[in-house]
Structure 1
């Protein structure tokens, strides 16, 4: 049975996309040099072909080098991932997701204040 395509990026795909979003465009070698996970050149080239087939990136040829560029905006992909997580793990409730994040031990006092400020400014818009 064929593996089902993920609705969100895999860990390595996301790492590659982060590099492309930051740089705007890059060759396979440039991406290899930036990857924290230190993947082989052939692995990165394969991942880029997969990302191209999924319509996340496109390439142009410069001599013998493929130069890849992102086709999707980072913010839209962040929203897609959040929607996926919210649906899959929080029964579609954004409130439950936010409560989980705020009640965790991961936020400093400063970060909590920033969130309060964001919520207050959002309320003022309405």
Structure 2
């Protein structure tokens, strides 16, 4: 199945779903920061995530318990690949260089990343 990009609101809900592993809408709302969104807003986003293939549900009468069917790691791989190809021409070196220049990572971390990438390439 093809993974699709999430909106900011969808990603916020998915982060909660990944942490909870299974939840009713009210459980998701409890974990969201203040000001809490309306129940209907969260419920609508969850249904969209279900249509996009990110979550599924088990029905208990009219009540639904939702759970992720795409893992956080799978989405992380998708998102980082998209970021690298969209903004860094598919070059890990350019991406690492950007984060070093923005002081998001230091040179030691950058060196460790490059070494890890070389190890993966050699395997």
TM-score (norm 2): 0.81
The count of aligned residue pairs is: 117
Extract unaligned runs of 5+ from structure 2.
none
1:18 matched to which residue of 2? 15
- Indicate which of 100, 110, 113 corresponds to 2:108: 113
CA distance in 1, matches of 2:69, 2:119: 35
TM-score (norm 1): 0.79
CA distance in 2, matches of 1:35, 1:46: 15
- Indicate which of 85, 109, 120 corresponds to 2:83: 85
CA distance in 2, matches of 1:71, 1:28: 16
After the TM superposition, which segments of 4 or more aligned residues of structure 1 sit over 4 Å from their partners?
121-125
Query: In the TM superposition, what is the alpha-carbon distance from 1:124 to its structure 2 partner?
Result: 5.3
Q: CA RMSD in A?
A: 2.1
What is the correspondence of 1:32-111 to structure 2 with a 5 Å cutoff? 32-36=29-33, 38-107=36-105
